[in-house]
Structure formats: structure tokens, C-alpha cells
Amino acid sequence: MARQASTKEQQSVRVLKVGERVRHILSELLARGEAHDDILRATSVSVTEVRMTPDLRNAKVYVKPLLGEDEAVVIKALRTNTAFFQREVAKRLGLKFAPKLQFKPDESFDEASRIDQLLNDPKVARDLGDEDEA
């Protein structure tokens, strides 16, 4: 039987599902302290997002240590233990190819905080207040 080609929408849904599965696996590994690294065992790390490439061979993993403490140290520890995480993800995912993990700090919280500060600026609040009256 001939294999049917998947549509672009089906392929993107698969990419999202695999990314979410990788996020859950990494979160579980970090929560249980399974990495053989004292820094990672002592720090609570949140995996906020995993972005997979369409071919599922590469994954950018965005992480944030609890309260943003020692972010550079935690990222370095994660990068040092990348081989362990890739091996565990490959074992639990069961894909033909194991995705290559690339750990990056999640800066979306900092960006959200910056936007919040801008919106709370008196000049901006004054301009937003005029719209409500009109």
C-alpha cells in the first residue's frame, strides 16, 4: 500500500505535539533530579517551551530557573549535560532520529515585564485613558 503524503497542517501539528512531548520529558527529568549534576539537582528549572524544526531533528529548549537565579550557571550545566538529556529523550520518544537539543534562556518573562512597565508609564496611561472617554 502506498504511503500517503501528510498535509502541511498535519505535519505542523505533529511538530507541535513532539515539541510538547519533549518538554514534558525534560521537565520530568529535571523535577526528579535525574541529571547527574549538583547544580541541576539544587535548582528548580522550568522548561517553558520547546521549538522543533519541521524535520524533528533539532529542538530549541527554552528554560527558566526558579526566580531567575543563576540563569547563566544553570544554562551552562544544562549544556554540559546535553548528551544525557538527548539520550533520555530519544529513549522515551521512540522516534527514528533523536532531536539535537539546544538549551536557551527564556527571555519572554523579561520582555513581558518590559511591556508591562511601558503600559504603566503615565504618558501611555494618559493616552489610553483618552480612548475610553471618546
Give the N- to C-terminal CA distance of the chain in Å, as an integer: 65
- What is the 3-class SS of 55-80, one letter each residue? CCCEEEEEEEEHHHCCHHHHHHHHHH
- Cell triple for 132: 475610553
Query: Is 32 contained in some domain?
Result: yes
Whole-model pTM: value is: 0.74
Q: What is the predicted pLDDT for the residue at 1?
A: 38
CATH code of the domain in which 83 resides: 3.30.300.20
Query: Is 64 contained in some domain?
Result: yes
pLDDT for 35-79, tens place per residue?
888 888 888 899 999 999 999 999 999 999 887 678 889 999 999
Q: What is the predicted pLDDT for the residue at 23?
A: 95
Q: What range does the domain containing 89 cover?
A: 8-107
In the numeric block, the cell 521537565 is attached to: 27
Average pLDDT for the chain: 82
Is the predicted pLDDT of residue 104 greater than 90, yes or no? yes
Query: Is 122 contained in some domain?
Result: no
Give the DSSP H/E element, type plus range, for residue 110. Answer: helix 108-119
Count of structural domains, the chain = 1
> Residues 63, 103: contact at Cβ < 8 Å?
yes
Average pLDDT for residues 76-87, to the nearest whole number? 94
